[in-house]
Amino acid sequence: MTRSKLLFAALLLVASLAVVPAATAGPTVHFAAVGSSAMYQASGVAVFNDLATPIGNAHHYTVKTSTACSGGTPCAYIHELRGTPGQIPDEAGTLWVVWAGNDGSGNATDVWAYLQVDTIVGNRAFFANPRPLFELNPDTNNGAVPGVNNIDKNLFVGTQADDTKIPNAVFAAITSNSFTAALSDVRPEDALFEHKRIVATLSTSNYNGLGYVYTNNVGIPIKSSFTNTQATPVAFALKGKDPISGNKVGKWKAIQVGAEPIIFIINRTNPNGFGQAGHFTNATHQALLNVFDGDHCNGAQLDPTALDFPVIANLREPLSGTMTTTEFTTFRIYTSTKKPKTSQEKNVGVPTVGTPANPLSATGVILDSGKPCAAGGGVRKRGIGTGEIVNTAVFAPVGCPGTLSLCDSIGYTFFSYGNISKLAGNANFGYLQEDGVDPLFTSYTDGKLPACASPTFCPALPGTSFPHIRDGSYQSWSILRAVGDPTASNFTDLQNIVSTVQNEINTKVPDLVPAVPISDGDPGLTVYRSHYTQASYTPDNLIATESGGDVGGCIFNGPPDDATNHLNKHQGGAIGGSCWP
């Protein structure tokens, strides 16, 4: 070939390359998080309205844990890479995905996603090394399972409903990639402590062990009384080496988001049960313990002046941050200088699968199929996830309303308007004061759960939400945290999402007290819990250097400090009660 022909061929090659579209790297995933139901709605709304919408072409998609997808796998789930194949079961969750932008080829440029599971499961999914994979069923991508509008469309800018499917590029960006953050109801130190308590040998003397013991670092699954759902304890660590893989655990930092209360909710359909006029407005923490620990499952325990009746007490699984917070702020609190010796898990027994201990279920007994209580005529049942307590146990127990006695269910949940939306505004359902203090408002009226619906929703004036968390008189609450790797490039994205949630929280749906002062003038949380030595972490109350456990820590007013008498203190036995070492 002549030199001129070679030059001509080279020019043709250059020209042909010039018309080939440049390959795109796919959208940027700013947030692929896993964890608590308490922040599911608030985080999804804040991301769509304040981060995705300004970019343009914003969309969203949601699907519930209970939604059926094909192929024998959940619609969205955690898939572990540690251990041998099949050793660690997949964990299904409820999903939101938000995407925005256009790369010139019609594909999104920016993606955010969140998988709602148990808090301790979410911590494990972040801390495990290698981290588990965020998996989506193809039905979420091919249109077979349209978005279910699990978050009210009116909360989104433009009142936009869910898309019918997740686009190809967004689906590929999320699926089979690792989680980047965990959203947790409790500090990671408390999550690890509770996990180790769950898998320790059952101790009926102090309930420092619940008996869901390991086989090859995987605990006995905790079964639901209502469905085939289960939650499985799996080993993880916060520092040092991963207990399964032996790999080094990565760096982490927890960011305070805001405080939410635990509330006790009741089904008031039965006029001779929880629906008795003028009754069941308040319960002491001790009376609640007497019902939930199975010693006396009857209405007179909660209100001695009412007609008595059997009660269905609905417990959460110990892997949940909801259960952990309730356990250590209502049931397992310090009443003297000695550590507590009881628990809502009392009378459960050795949790052998398929026995009345796991799930809490037995056929042929009064009040459906729960495990009979020691006295009072009632039963206990176990719900896995907030939805099974709020939407199944309390909203519609089996047989309700056909047999009125079956309606006398009580359960507990972190309050958020999304969590209680199915019960809100309905006189058949209500919430209780605890030890005479209202968890939601300045004063208690009819106990009806508040609705927060379009078009006006329920904005709060800065500094007014949850007044008795703010003044320290209500003690069943926890600060929600966002946990990420401070050395990772996406940690800035996590910080940005936390700030966005906080700054938007009062405008439409005030689900929490922001942990810090925010842009609308809200002073933020002006009380704090004492931190104490937990999971080998030395306590530190200060936000910038926070460390140690704080679930059930004694409540102090003012900005956090590390005075000796403000560290290693646990809340006492009554509202405003003493703090104990």
7-43: pLDDT as tens digits: 334 433 333 333 334 445 799 999 999 999 999 999 9
Structure tokens belonging to residue 80: 């572990």
In this structure, the strands spanning 409-414 and 312-316 are parallel
Alpha-carbon separation of residue 174 from 32, 80, 121, 137, 429 (angstroms): 7, 15, 19, 11, 39
Q: What angle do CA 109, 150, 117 make, to 5 degrees?
A: 85
Q: Could you tell me if 295 and 174 lie in one domain?
A: no
Q: DSSP per residue over 84-106, as a string? A: STTSS--EE-EEEEEEE---SSS
Q: Which of 159, 184, 209 is the last residue of a domain?
A: 184
Residue 158 is which amino acid?
G
pLDDT at residue 10 in the model: 41
Q: Which of 142, 165, 184 is the last residue of a domain?
A: 184
CA dihedral 20, 21, 26, 30 (to 10 degrees): 140
What is the count of structural domains for the chain?
A: 2
Q: Determine, yes or no, domain membership for 438.
A: yes
Q: Could you tell me if 155 and 264 lie in one domain?
A: no
Q: Could you tell me if 164 and 267 lie in one domain?
A: no
pLDDT at residue 401 in the model: 67
Neighbours of 304 (CB within 10 A): 10
Q: Could you tell me if 287 and 418 lie in one domain?
A: yes
pLDDT at residue 8 in the model: 36
Q: Which of 33, 82, 79, 78 is nearest to 241 (CA)?
A: 82
Structure tokens belonging to residue 513: 């007290």
What is the span of the domain harbouring residue 413? 260-470
Q: Determine, yes or no, domain membership for 367.
A: yes
Neighbours of 86 (CB within 10 A): 8
pLDDT at residue 405 in the model: 67
Phi/psi region, residue 270 (left: phi>0; alpha: psi -120 to 50; beta: rest), is beta
Q: Which of 470, 502, 531 is the last residue of a domain?
A: 470
pLDDT at residue 435 in the model: 95
Q: Determine, yes or no, domain membership for 254.
A: no
Q: Could you tell me if 345 and 433 lie in one domain?
A: yes
Helices and strands per DSSP (H, E), number in the chain: 12, 25
Q: Determine, yes or no, domain membership for 213.
A: no
C-alpha dihedral sign at 63, 68, 74, 75 = negative
Q: Could you tell me if 145 and 281 lie in one domain?
A: no
Q: Determine, yes or no, domain membership for 339.
A: yes
Q: What angle do CA 224, 229, 235 make, to 5 degrees?
A: 95
Q: What angle do CA 420, 424, 430 make, to 5 degrees?
A: 90
Q: What is the CA radius of gyration of the chain?
A: 25
Q: What is the CATH number of the domain that holds 362?
A: 3.40.190.10
pLDDT at residue 453 in the model: 81
Q: Could you tell me if 395 and 279 lie in one domain?
A: yes
Residue ranges of the chain whose pLDDT lies below 50:
1-23, 364-367
Q: What is the DSSP letter of 340?
A: P
Residue 552 is which amino acid?
G
